[in-house]
Amino acid sequence: MLEQMGIAAKAASYKLALLSSREKNRVLEKIADYLEAQAEEILLANEQDLLEARRNGLSDAMLDRLALNPARLTAIANDVRQVCKLADPVGQVIDGGLLDSGLRIERRRVPLGVIGVIYEARPNVTVDVASLCLKTGNAAILRGGKETWRTNAATVKVIQQALEECGLPAGAVQAIESPDRALVNEMLRMDKYIDMLIPRGGAGLHKLCREQSTIPVITGGIGVCHILVDDSAEIDPALKIIVNAKTQRPSTCNTVETLLVHQGIAQRFLPALSKQMAESGVTLHADEQALALLQNGPAKVEAVKAEQYDDEFLSLDLNVKIVAGLDDAIDHIRQHGTQHSDAILTRTLRNADRFINEVDSSAVYVNASTRFTDGGQFGLGAEVAVSTQKLHARGPMGLEALTTYKWIGFGDDTIRA
């Protein structure tokens, strides 16, 4: 089955690579319209997925990731329309010039070919990936989690309908609907057909892909994100940022998981934090020093466990640790962070500069929420993933990250001397 999907995707990729921006946008506009016109079928499928997920005891965080409603589906359709408005990178000349040999050379962006994406309970990923791949002339093979198979199937059916009505092969976007995990292992070895693989899920999935895949893998999306409250920070603005970073949508990878508080501000800051976190329904997990300052406050607090510094809560839980200074904070982030998103709240330019230069994450913020690490927020349109790697793509992956380039040489009967 998968080999037939691979053959169809590769064949489709050759046709997609030749489309003009106008032709690609026409497909995307039709997909957006159909998502709204056929919302009832997609939402019904999602409702069935949610019922089964609840029966299977899925966590609230996972249920939130899985759930669709009319507003979320409309937002997904509008993300597709936003991709239509973005500049098409395919065909862009990156650089070039005339060589001494007389050869005129240029480096031009081209599609990667076929993108494989393995993801868990995130039905919006289906549309995000499809729209970005189609905009860049790539075919896509999608393997969503077993929790979302009905939603994904209904969504891909709509996408394929739009493709065929525009005279393009349905094989341009395909989904593996079977929950059989053996198919994931088979997919990891489809290097004959898939040019790049993107896992979007937990640490176990990323480890499996890194160790077993014969296809180049882009990993990321695991966010043990930190915020450092410097001793020069202003308390009220800092609390506003922390509330946003923790509570706006706790189940996302750019949510803050650990708060590092400079010892010089801890006695003034932590009582105010406790009050704010109690109002926001956040449970605090504090180190020994912080616990002493928090245990008489209104927020629920307990002693932090060592392993909690290395995991995503994806819920209304927050680690709190007092640090001796910037060096201590940076050391903690280097030891426990996932190079996703980290922030400093400060009024000291020198400390801001040091944090930017010494924290090696894909996104670093000064006096801003970590929740901004998102393709839409960065002006990239819908993202295909957030890469925490350093090769090819880093941070939110938009259109350019789904292209490669080829060297083109123009001669005048030119030969090498």
For residue range 321-374, list pLDDT tens digits in order. Answer: 999 999 999 999 999 999 999 999 999 999 999 999 999 999 999 999 999 999
Q: Which residue has tokens 């882009």?
A: 218
User: What's the rounded Cα separation, in Å, for the pair 408 and 405?
Assistant: 10
User: What's the rounded Cα separation, in Å, for the pair 407 and 413?
Assistant: 18
Report the DSSP beta bridge partners of residue 286.
303, 320
Which residues touch 394 (CB under 8 Å, ≥6 apart)? 362, 387, 388
Cβ-contact 286, 303 below 8 angstroms:
yes
Size of the chain in residues: 417
Nearest to 256 by CA among 278, 277, 235: 277
pLDDT above 90: residue 145: no
Average pLDDT of the residues of the chain: 94
For residue range 70-121, list pLDDT tens digits in order. Answer: 999 999 999 899 899 999 999 999 999 999 999 999 999 999 999 999 987 7
Q: Which one is predicted more confidently, 49 or 219? A: 49
Instruction: Quote the pLDDT of residue 47.
Output: 96
Q: In degrees, to the nearest 5, what angle opens at C-alpha 104 toward C-alphas 98 and 108?
A: 110
User: What's the rounded Cα separation, in Å, for the pair 197 and 88?
Assistant: 22
Residues of the chain with pLDDT > 70, as a percent, come to 100
Where b means 16+ CB within 10 Å and e means fewer, 21-40 reads beebbbbbbbbbebbeebbe
For residue range 173-201, list pLDDT tens digits in order. Answer: 999 988 888 899 999 999 999 999 999 87
Instruction: Quote the pLDDT of residue 394.
Output: 92
pLDDT above 90: residue 380: no
Residues of the chain with pLDDT > 90, as a percent, come to 84
Helix axes 70-85, 21-37, angle to 10 degrees: 170
Q: In degrees, to the nearest 5, what angle opens at C-alpha 87 toward C-alphas 85 and 91?
A: 145
State pTM to two decimals: 0.86
Give the residue-averaged pLDDT of 270-294: 97
User: What's the rounded Cα separation, in Å, for the pair 291 and 270?
Assistant: 10
112, exposed or middle or buried, with CB in 10 Å at 0-12, 13-18, 19+?
A: buried
137 backbone φψ class: left, alpha, beta (φ>0; ψ -120 to 50): left
SS3 406: strand
Tokens of 233: 């920070």
Q: How far apart are the first and last CA of the chain?
A: 51
Tokens of 5: 């999907």
Instruction: Quote the pLDDT of residue 103.
Output: 97
Q: Which of 64-68, 111-115, 313-317 has the highest mean pLDDT?
A: 111-115
Instruction: Quote the pLDDT of residue 300.
Output: 97
Q: Any idea what DSSP says for residue 179?
A: -
